[in-house]
Structure 1
Amino acid sequence: MNVPDALARRGSDLLVRIVGVACSDRELPRMADELAGLVVRSARTLTFCDVHVLDDDGRFLECAGRPVALGEGDVGWAAAHGRARAHADGRGAAIPVHSGGSVIAVLDVRSAGPCPPEDVELVTALAELFAPVLCSCRRLRAARERERAAERFAERAVEAQEAERSRLSREIHDGIAQRLAGLGFHLSAAERALPEHHPESLAQIMMARSLCELAAAETRAAIGGLRPPVLDDLGLSAALATLAREAGDGPGPSGRPLDVTVTVEGELEDALPDHVQTALYRIAQEAVGNSLRHASASCVDLLLEHFGDRVRLTVADDGVGFSLRDVFAPGGRVRGGRGRRPDSYGLRGMTERAELLGGRVTVTSRPGGGTTVEAVVPIPGRSGPVSAR
């Protein structure tokens, strides 16, 4: 009996049910469960069906129960040899599902009594129809696993970077910062011990103290920049607010205070993963730093937007702008022979951070027209195609 005959005996409603299951939006193992239920409902005597799907490495057949190794039992034998195998008690069989000449799954069916040949023929026919459905499910499963592996790699990479930053922060705090504190103490002691009739020596000591205090302040700023505690304690929004407040303290390069604002739109059901928050903070930190160092800007606007499957960070300033062609030109040298743009490394770094997480960074600028940096990063587990909304 051929496949169409075996299916035709069950009527057209069986084909309708098969199409319905095949078109349903389900992934493994739910699709396997749906197909198993369809087999039991379609046969006359079958009371049980398990759909065992071969893993991507071709070593195990996965099911709701214990995985079955290739060659183990009737199911493993059917997968290894590509042929159906009846159970020893005559109450069912293990029937392979073929795709492209290879076994991708096995239908393990059983009945309460002796299994009639027509039910075995029906299951064999169904196995041929299930093949493209299960093949698509296996490809989707492999794609999901690659996506999760990429997310785990990105998370580990960001964690490794931050661990190194934390290590440097501790070493600077316990080493250089303590040495500077000790140096300041000894300079103060020398100033008090110096006789009053040595004004020149006193002036030198006071200048050394001033330089020591400046170095200590820069060291504290470097420690805070390496790993801001607020990011761990309060999250990304608070960290951006702190970054804006610190950037706005004191006069900017133009001599006027820099006006930095932060706007947060949308809400997340769950907090962003730590490595995503860290990457976005670093991008914001670099973009704001570029505005401070190079843009001669009077204001910088930070906008953080949460969407269902992604988050977007936009940093825009009203500074002098620059030519993107000059910054990203081969060799990174600007016209006029003035050397490499000091912010070209930072722009590339922001791009690499976003791409590591499957996102992107877009920089828009022109001389005299300000600069806008936009970073769009997918949220792991809910990510779709990265695109601006």
Structure 2
Amino acid sequence: MTAAGAEAGAAVPGPLELLAGRGRDLLVRIVTVACSDRALPEMAAELAGLVVRSSRELAFCDVYVLDEDERALRGPGGPPVPLGEGDVGWAAAHGRTRVHADGRGVAVPVHSGRSTIAVVDVRSAGRCLPEDVVLVTALAELFAPVLCSCRRLRAAQEREHAAERFAERAVEVQEAERSRLSREIHDGIAQRLAGLGFHLSAAEGALPDHHPEARRQIRHARELCELAAAETRAAIGGLRPPVLDDLGLSAALATLAREVGGPPPRGDGLDVTVAVSGELEDALPDHVQTALYRIAQEAVGNCVRHASASYVDLLLEHDRERVRLVVKDDGVGFSIQDVYASRGGGRGPGRRPDSYGLRGMAERAELLGGRVIVSSRRGVGTTVEAVIPVPRS
């Protein structure tokens, strides 16, 4: 090596010397950014700004982070950079520093173990100073654990969002099928029953007075037809209550309370109350409202079918993070172990049929990341509590 070359080599300090030469402020800034609650891409932007402020002559810096599929890198806006393409993609694919063709920039890989997880791409107005290249390489090593944590957080958030989208889609498919059945029943069976009732009334009016037995049979048939029509209307309303779409969950619960609390034969004569507390800044997503309404519907239906209760209280509480539904009755109660027990110690067909409603409520809540807790004892009534997290906007 020539004397000039030795002098040039000695003029560029090593990574530790460079970091130490920048003083404690640089390390404090790195720790401050690393300990912040920022996620990608905000964290990448903060680290990029830190690189420019710490350098001598660097004008721009972008931090590109490898996505979970490890096929492309996401940078500050613009389309992802495919692995192997351009200076950034080449540095990521080969795990080595890549100098830009014009000498005014360099792409430095960020390693985590044997893998490249990101690339720090810097540019200068003129040719990059060797000192700045060494500094960027040193900072890339310090950024590795920070970006590793950010990638894990991003992956967890994306899985959570995917689960939310799956749950929303699953509820949408269920409700679409219920709506289809509702329309078919309304346009088919309900219309046939209405026509049948009309013809029975006409037949009764056409009978001579000296056929009392025939009149009695026709009146009985008409009563059965009216009862079937009423049950059909109730089934249509149960499949998809219009009030849930028009006015929301609170109004739908109030309508459910009026229907169940009305006098027979339309209602069941229960004393049903509904209380709502808390306000959401935004309306609950449709699939969350639907799931909560179905849980309330099943819980109130269980009260009617099994509890022999005199009253049912419904409480709906919501805030920014979660919504809570409580259905409480004063009925006969039951043993939860007995309900979930299987005849003969087996599974499947031996399981008691009244456990399906409880499991259905739990599955609806779990699909949305929530839970259902059922508390009951013989003689003291039953409480069903459903808690569902509110999806972030």
Secondary structure of 2:101's match? coil
1:10 aligns with 2:9: no
Secondary structure of 2:284's match? coil
1:359 aligns with 2:375: no
Paired residue for 1:186, among 195, 199, 209?
199
Report the Cα distance in structure 2 between the residues aligned to 1:59 and 1:151, rounded to whole angstroms. 25
Q: Report the counterpart of residue 85 of structure 1 in structure 2.
A: 98
1:71 aligns with 2:84: yes
Q: Report the counterpart of residue 24 of structure 1 in structure 2.
A: 36
Q: Report the counterpart of residue 117 of structure 1 in structure 2.
A: 130
Secondary structure of 1:65's match? coil
Task: Write out per-residue CA displacement over residues 312-344 of structure 1, whole angstroms, 9 at most, x where no aligned residue.
Answer: 0000000000000001113599xxxxx865531
1:202 aligns with 2:215: yes
1:53 aligns with 2:75: no
Q: What does residue range 127-142 of structure 1 map to in structure 2 within 5 Å? A: 127-142=140-155
Greater than 4 Å deviation, 4+ residue runs = 339-342
Q: Report the counterpart of residue 35 of structure 1 in structure 2.
A: 47
- Residue type matched to 1:212 in 2? C
Q: Report the counterpart of residue 106 of structure 1 in structure 2.
A: 119
Paired residue for 2:390, among 362, 379, 384?
379
Q: What does residue range 247-258 of structure 1 map to in structure 2 within 5 Å? A: 247-251=260-264, 257-258=269-270
Question: Is 2:197–2:226's contact at 8 Å kept on the other side of the alignment?
Answer: yes
Task: Write out per-residue CA displacement over residues 258-294 of structure 1, whole angstroms, 9 at most, x where no aligned residue.
Answer: 1000000000000000000000000000001111111
How many equivalent residue pairs? Answer: 376
| Per-residue deviation, 1:115 | 1.2
Task: Write out per-residue CA displacement over residues 52-84 of structure 1, whole angstroms, 9 at most, x where no aligned residue.
Answer: 111111111111233211111111110110000
| Per-residue deviation, 1:194 | 1.0
1:273 aligns with 2:285: yes
Secondary structure of 1:268's match? coil
- Residue type matched to 2:150 in 1? C
CA RMSD of superposed structures (Å): 1.7
- Residue type matched to 2:96 in 1? R
Report the Cα distance in structure 2 between the residues aligned to 1:251 and 1:302, rounded to whole angstroms. 21
Question: Is 1:332–1:341's contact at 8 Å kept on the other side of the alignment?
Answer: no
Secondary structure of 2:283's match? coil
Task: Write out per-residue CA displacement over residues 131-152 of structure 1, whole angstroms, 9 at most, x where no aligned residue.
Answer: 0101111111111110010000
Paired residue for 1:296, among 283, 293, 308?
308
- Residue type matched to 1:377 in 2? I
- Residue type matched to 2:125 in 1? A
Report the Cα distance in structure 2 between the residues aligned to 1:271 and 1:130, rounded to whole angstroms. 40
Paired residue for 1:329, among 341, 346, 364?
341
Question: Is 2:281–2:320's contact at 8 Å kept on the other side of the alignment?
Answer: no
- Residue type matched to 1:257 in 2? G
| Per-residue deviation, 1:5 | 2.5
The 10-residue stretch of structure 1 (52-61 or 212-221) with the greater mean CA deviation from structure 2: 52-61
| Per-residue deviation, 1:4 | 2.4
Question: Is 1:256–1:298's contact at 8 Å kept on the other side of the alignment?
Answer: no
| Per-residue deviation, 1:50 | 0.5
Report the Cα distance in structure 1 between the residues aligned to 2:251 and 2:343, rounded to whole angstroms. 38
Question: Is 1:332–1:340's contact at 8 Å kept on the other side of the alignment?
Answer: no
Task: Write out per-residue CA displacement over residues 217-270 of structure 1, whole angstroms, 9 at most, x where no aligned residue.
Answer: 000000001000000000000000000011100159xx9831000000000000
Report the Cα distance in structure 2 between the residues aligned to 1:256 and 1:147, rounded to whole angstroms. 42
Question: Is 1:44–1:119's contact at 8 Å kept on the other side of the alignment?
Answer: yes
Specify whether residues 82 and 331 from structure 1 end up closer, same or farther in structure 2 by C-alpha distance, changes over 3 A only.
farther
Specify whether residues 203 and 99 from structure 1 end up closer, same or farther in structure 2 by C-alpha distance, changes over 3 A only.
same
Report the Cα distance in structure 1 between the residues aligned to 2:91 and 2:312, rounded to whole angstroms. 66
Question: Is 1:300–1:317's contact at 8 Å kept on the other side of the alignment?
Answer: yes
TM-score normalised over the length of structure 2: 0.93
Question: Is 1:326–1:332's contact at 8 Å kept on the other side of the alignment?
Answer: no
Question: Is 1:60–1:68's contact at 8 Å kept on the other side of the alignment?
Answer: yes
Secondary structure of 1:207's match? helix
Specify whether residues 107 and 340 from structure 1 end up closer, same or farther in structure 2 by C-alpha distance, changes over 3 A only.
closer
| Per-residue deviation, 1:6 | 2.9
TM-score normalised over the length of structure 1: 0.94
**Structure 2: unaligned runs, 5 residues or longer:** 1-12
| Per-residue deviation, 1:47 | 0.8
**Structure 1: unaligned runs, 5 residues or longer:** 334-338, 383-389
Report the Cα distance in structure 2 between the residues aligned to 1:3 and 1:121, rounded to whole angstroms. 6
Report the Cα distance in structure 1 between the residues aligned to 2:309 and 2:290, rounded to whole angstroms. 25
Q: Report the counterpart of residue 227 of structure 2 in structure 1.
A: 214
Report the Cα distance in structure 1 between the residues aligned to 2:268 and 2:152, rounded to whole angstroms. 58
| Per-residue deviation, 1:182 | 1.0
- Residue type matched to 1:316 in 2? K
Q: Report the counterpart of residue 314 of structure 1 in structure 2.
A: 326
Question: Is 1:332–1:344's contact at 8 Å kept on the other side of the alignment?
Answer: no
- % identical aligned pairs: 80
| Per-residue deviation, 1:38 | 0.1
Secondary structure of 2:47's match? helix
